[in-house]
Chain A
Amino acid sequence: GQNIDQPTEMTATEGAIVQINCTYQTSGFNGLFWYQQHAGEAPTFLSYNVLDGLEEKGRFSSFLSRSKGYSYLLLKELQMKDSASYLCAPNTGGFKTIFGAGTRLFVKA
């Protein structure tokens, strides 16, 4: 079966660092995407990890451990505009990417 677990909600303060965790169990695995989705908008791509380790891209970094079925998204220097849902999405092979329910992040002043 396919299962993706991530926290439902998180709250953090502007300027702080927040880590959003994701664990997954899938029948196949090629890599893991993170997408950002603001309320009422479409998801937009943030990162893609294939190999174990940390990928850094500006204020956002993403980590993957294939053996543990674990990933996290790290957001630094939080801004109000980072308030959104963050979707963990493993690619299970071929054209199929499965999306988690998302973590709603609230950034407060």
Chain B
Amino acid sequence: DTAVSQTPKYLVTQMGNDKSIKCEQNLGHDTMYWYKQDSKKFLKIMFSYNNKELIINETVPNRFSPKSPDKAHLNLHINSLELGDSAVYFCASSPGQNTYEQYFGPGTRLTVT
């Protein structure tokens, strides 16, 4: 069974569109994350939820809105897509904070044309 899954794996869309990426983990973890990895391979944290509560919200445009319907799911909705949003988006989960390793999903490659 896949520990952290994301859908879709690839997403190609045009500027101005709205799209969502879904993430699910079956590890029973309390904490979930969204990361963006750009073409230079920097992996930057965007959001983190702990027990469905938003605890990290980096300087991300308002066009990005995470939603956590329950502890096992963390979805990412993006409005009015821009060219600069093209990147690989990784979802991750961990049992908690500090010392716990993160388990990453396979990533969603978003291409905005």
What is A's interface to B at a CB cutoff of 8 Å? 30-31, 33, 41-45, 48, 50, 85, 87, 91, 93-99, 101-102
| Pairwise interchain contact A97-B45, C-beta atoms closer than 8 A | yes
Residues of chain B in range 68-104 having any CB-CB distance to chain A below 8 Å: 90, 94, 97-99, 101-104
| Pairwise interchain contact A95-B43, C-beta atoms closer than 8 A | no
Cross-chain pairs A/B with CB under 8 angstroms, 16 sampled:
A30-B99, A41-B107, A43-B43, A43-B102, A43-B104, A44-B104, A48-B99, A91-B99, A93-B98, A94-B55, A94-B98, A96-B45, A99-B44, A101-B41, A102-B41, A102-B43
Say how far B14's CB is from chain A's closest CB, in angstroms.
Answer: 24
What is B's interface to A at a CB cutoff of 8 Å? 31, 33, 35, 40-45, 48, 50, 55-56, 90, 94, 97-99, 101-107
Contact check: which of A48, A95, A98, A101 meets B55 at CB < 8 Å?
A95
Say how far A24's CB is from chain B's closest CB, in angstroms.
Answer: 14
Taken together as a complex, chains A and B put the C-alpha atoms of A4 and B48 apart, in Å, by 21
Taken together as a complex, chains A and B put the C-alpha atoms of A31 and B41 apart, in Å, by 22
Taken together as a complex, chains A and B put the C-alpha atoms of A98 and B35 apart, in Å, by 10
| Pairwise interchain contact A42-B107, C-beta atoms closer than 8 A | yes
List residues of chain B with CB within 8 A of the CB of A97: 45, 102
Closest A residue, CB atoms, query B109: A40
List residues of chain B with CB within 8 A of the CB of A96: 45, 48, 56
